[in-house]
Amino acid sequence: DIQGVELALLDHFQLDLSQMESEAKELAQVLLSEIGNVDNVDYQEFGAQLQLLVALLRRKACDWWQLSLEQLSAMHGVLKLSRRPQLHVEFDAWAHPWKLSREEVMNCIQKCTIKGTSYAQILCSLEHWQLTSCQLGPLVALHCAVAWLKTRQGFGKAVALFDHLELWRWEEHLLTFEWEALQSLQRLVRCDRRALDLALASLAA
């Protein structure tokens, strides 16, 4: 649809929502109004809108959007009832980036674990605390990104982690990550085409 095309164009031209703040916030409000009352949501009909809205919101910090507590609570309720658990996890992590402390984020990266949390929460908290690759250690961060690559659900998050920490600045790290990514894609070709499609989509973005 046209709204999905707008997001694709933002990616293609590498535009920041700050350059079109009023338009972005208007689009978010339109999507929120389309979802309507929690009790009357047709999840079959509004599934695409929910996915688009979460994708749009996650492009900026929660405070930037200036959404009311009622709107945030309504979104939580809709997503909880929509039987889209992963989308709910993504939204919850975005809305509460402070859930993991700075030390907890560093521990997750150092131990390459998401036990008790999620990829989305680690990434959102990582950005919230403004942790850098130098603070974490480039090799430590690379080791974590590679470990995430090797899980079926973690490929896209590994790409996001690698990109966010700008590990591509080290040529040897970029070569290592690209090699490991190719190996992971080969494994997904053999065992999980759905995960493969998501992995390829994350690379395209």
- pLDDT, tens digit, 9 for 90 and up, residues 141-200: 999 999 999 887 888 899 999 999 999 999 999 999 999 998 988 887 777 667 667 666
Task: Output the pLDDT for position 2.
Answer: 45
Residues 6+ apart with CB under 8 A from 117: 99, 100, 104, 108
How does residue 32 score in pLDDT terms, banded at 50, 70 and 90?
Answer: confident
- Of 45, 111, 31, residue with least CA distance to 74: 31
- Indicate the pTM of the whole model: 0.84
What's the CA gap between 30 and 16, in Å, rounded? Answer: 20
What's the CA gap between 180 and 146, in Å, rounded? Answer: 7
